Amino acid sequence: MTARSRADLATASRIVVKVGSSSISGESSWRIPVLVEALAAAHARGAEVVLVSSGAIATGIPFLQLDARPTDLATQQAAAAVGQTMLVYRYQESLRPFEIVAGQVLLTTGDLENPTSRSNARRAMERLMSLRVLPIVNENDTVATQEIRFGDNDRLGALVAQLIGADALILLSDIESLYTKPPSDPGAEPIDVIAADADLSGLEFGATVVNSVGTGGAATKVSAARLAAASGIGVLVTSADLVDKALAGAEIGTWFEPAV
């Protein structure tokens, strides 16, 4: 049943959680076990959980002995190929104490736009969840050129939530909630709830470089959240450090009410 409020997250049957590169790669890789523990708790109560995780390129950079994120496509693809295996390994090692198996799912926009590929992806993910496997979804960076990219994994999270008919989507960020303007600006106020038909034209959401390895920002999350909410999926945007509280239905973050 669709989550109509934050409290419903505690009992939602099918949840998609999206986390970005800046939250789980580089010096922030310590957060993977913390994230996994929260996902495992939801899994233990019977929920079907799907993780959409960025971070393949960022994770692969040090293994290629690069000093910064590569700018050419071929090296980005190489970093993604190396980093994706290590990223899933780290998740699987953290899931092992909970006796949960991870399943890797790599997608491009073409996979979700083509009816046959879309049906295949949905069927595979449905079967993974029925087997109590935790699907870990990422963009297929080794083949995705600019014209077939999702643009950002917030959007991928929303599309995956639509694909599997999720009850809720949680977009994890670096801050606890969205604000009426950049949080560092005077007068910026946290946003509690955004109605499905709310006019957001008076708010200032910026798309910024989060760090040297990841891109994103409030604007991408708002766009993705509204996409999912328009499909009848409740969306919470909050900090990656509060994922356990988010999954427990705590009154945190910014809640996007789903369309009826």
Confirm whether residue 18 is marked as ligand binding.
Answer: yes
pLDDT recorded at residue 148: 54
Between the alpha carbon of residue 63 and those of residues 54, 84, 85, 151, 240, the distances in Å are 17, 11, 11, 25, 25
Dump pLDDT digits (tens) for 149-204.
777 899 999 999 999 999 999 999 989 999 988 888 888 899 999 999 998 887 87
What's the structural domain count of the chain?
1
Q: Are 221 and 179 in contact (CB under 8 A)?
A: no
Alpha-carbon torsion, ordered 91, 97, 101, 105, to 10 deg: -10
114 labelled ligand-binding: no
228 contacts 255 by C-beta, under 8 angstroms = no
What pLDDT, in 10s, does the model give residues 234-260?
Answer: 999 999 999 999 999 999 999 999 998
Residue 1 lies in a domain: no
Q: Which of 36-40, 55-59, 117-121, 142-146 has the lowest mean pLDDT?
A: 142-146
Segments forming the whole domain that contains residue 145: 6-256
* Residue 37 domain-assigned (yes or no): yes
**Strand-by-strand arrangement of the 102-107 sheet:** 102-107, 134-139, 48-53, 14-19, 168-173, 234-239, 254-256, 193-194
Is 72 labeled as ligand-binding?
A: no
Contact 82, 48 (CB under 8 A): no
Distances (CA, A) of 7 to 34, 87, 141, 179: 21, 31, 35, 21
Q: 144 falls in which pLDDT band (50, 70, 90)?
A: confident
Residue 209 has pLDDT above 90, yes or no: no
Cβ(142)–Cβ(131) below 8 Å? no
Residues 86-102: tens digit of each pLDDT: 999 999 999 999 999 99
| Neighbour-count burial for 183-221, b at 16+ CB within 10 Å, e otherwise | eeeeeeeebeebeeeeeeeeeebeeeeebebbbbbbbbb
Residue 176 lies in a domain: yes
- Residue 47 sits in a domain whose CATH number is 3.40.1160.10
Reported pTM: 0.93
Question: Is 138 annotated in some ligand binding site?
Answer: no
- Does residue 41 fall inside a structural domain? yes
